[in-house]
Chains A and B, each alone.
Chain A
Amino acid sequence: AQSVTQLGSHVSVSEGALVLLRCNYSSSVPPYLFWYVQYPNQGLQLLLKYTTGATLVKGINGFEAEFKKSETSFHLTKPSAHMSDAAEYFCAVSFGNEKLTFGTGTRLTIIP
């Protein structure tokens, strides 16, 4: 069965510091990988996705993620955190069918 694990339910970083949110998946077939962001009282919004091709994927708001097959990882990074990045982030995986399996989420807090 497909699964995705997000390490760290809460992450705090200082404004201007590097943001690193971790995501690992388990699979025996190539996955499609997604990061979604949820701002308070809102639905989920797609940040970025990997389907095929270049393993370094750039998304909105300066975020990027790298698909590393050997490590079964798809960590989300941003070089410099901004106060507006405070939100909950979800990693999700699909294996070529319609079903999205979500991780448990990481709440990102930005310290002024």
Chain B
Amino acid sequence: EAQVTQNPRYLITVTGKKLTVTCSQNMNHEYMSWYRQDPGLGLRQIYYSMNVEVTDKGDVPEGYKVSRKEKRNFPLILESPSPNQTSLYFCASSLSLRTGYMNTEAFFGQGTRLTVV
């Protein structure tokens, strides 16, 4: 079954304690991205990756890191979490939205609800 798997689904942590949210896809997709969802703000892109070893900042990258060492995995790292990073996080993957891949869609994980106290 084609899917994007995020772990954990729920996480409560304390300010400053490093954490990693994992994301894995089994569709051989080139493009992967991380979003955070906050009430009234919709989904905002944190980081994205166009392929292995190629990552770039999205709209709200401050306080986050990512890596793309393998095509299937795209972990999100919070080196020193703060309460303003309490949010619902989604990982997504797709073939590509560039011309030539118009009939593609983004597949989303189930989400990770992070609370930083």
Chain A positions near chain B (C-beta within 8 angstroms): 6, 9, 32, 34, 36, 41-46, 49, 51-52, 90, 94, 96-100, 102-105
The CA of A84 and the CA of B54, in the complex, are separated in Å by: 40
CB within 8 Å of A: which of B61-117?
A: 90, 92, 94, 96-99, 102-103, 105-106, 108-111
Q: Is the CB of B108 within 8 A of A98?
A: no
**Sample (9) of A-B pairs whose CB atoms are under 8 Å apart:** A6-B42, A34-B106, A43-B4, A46-B106, A49-B105, A90-B42, A96-B99, A98-B96, A99-B97
Q: Is the CB of A51 within 8 A of B108?
A: no
Shortest beta-carbon distance from B94 to chain A in Å: 7
The CA of A43 and the CA of B89, in the complex, are separated in Å by: 10
Residues in A neighbouring B102, C-beta threshold 8 A: 32, 51-52
Task: Say whether chain A's binding surface is mostly helix, strand, loop, or mixed.
Answer: loop
Pick the contact of A105: B42, B58, B90 (CB < 8 A): B42
Listed residue (B48, B94, B105, B109) with the most chain A CB atoms within 10 angstroms of its CB: B105
Residues in A neighbouring B96, C-beta threshold 8 A: 98
The answer to the question of B34 belonging to the interface, with a C-beta cut-off of 8 Å to chain A, is no
Q: Is the CB of B103 within 8 A of A103?
A: no
Nearest chain B residue, comparing its CB with the CB of A6:
B42
Nearest chain B residue, comparing its CB with the CB of A4:
B42
Residues in B neighbouring A51, C-beta threshold 8 A: 102-103
Q: Is the CB of B98 within 8 A of A43?
A: no
Pick the contact of B48: A49, A52, A99, A105 (CB < 8 A): A99
Listed residue (A34, A51, A98, A102) with the most chain B CB atoms within 10 angstroms of its CB: A98
Besides the contacts A6-B42, A96-B97, what 16 more A-B pairs have beta carbons closer than 8 Å? A32-B97, A41-B111, A42-B110, A44-B43, A44-B90, A45-B108, A46-B106, A49-B105, A52-B102, A96-B99, A99-B58, A100-B92, A100-B97, A100-B106, A102-B44, A103-B42
The CA of A99 and the CA of B35, in the complex, are separated in Å by: 11
The CA of A43 and the CA of B110, in the complex, are separated in Å by: 4
Shortest beta-carbon distance from A27 to chain B in Å: 14
Q: Is the CB of B48 within 8 A of A98?
A: yes
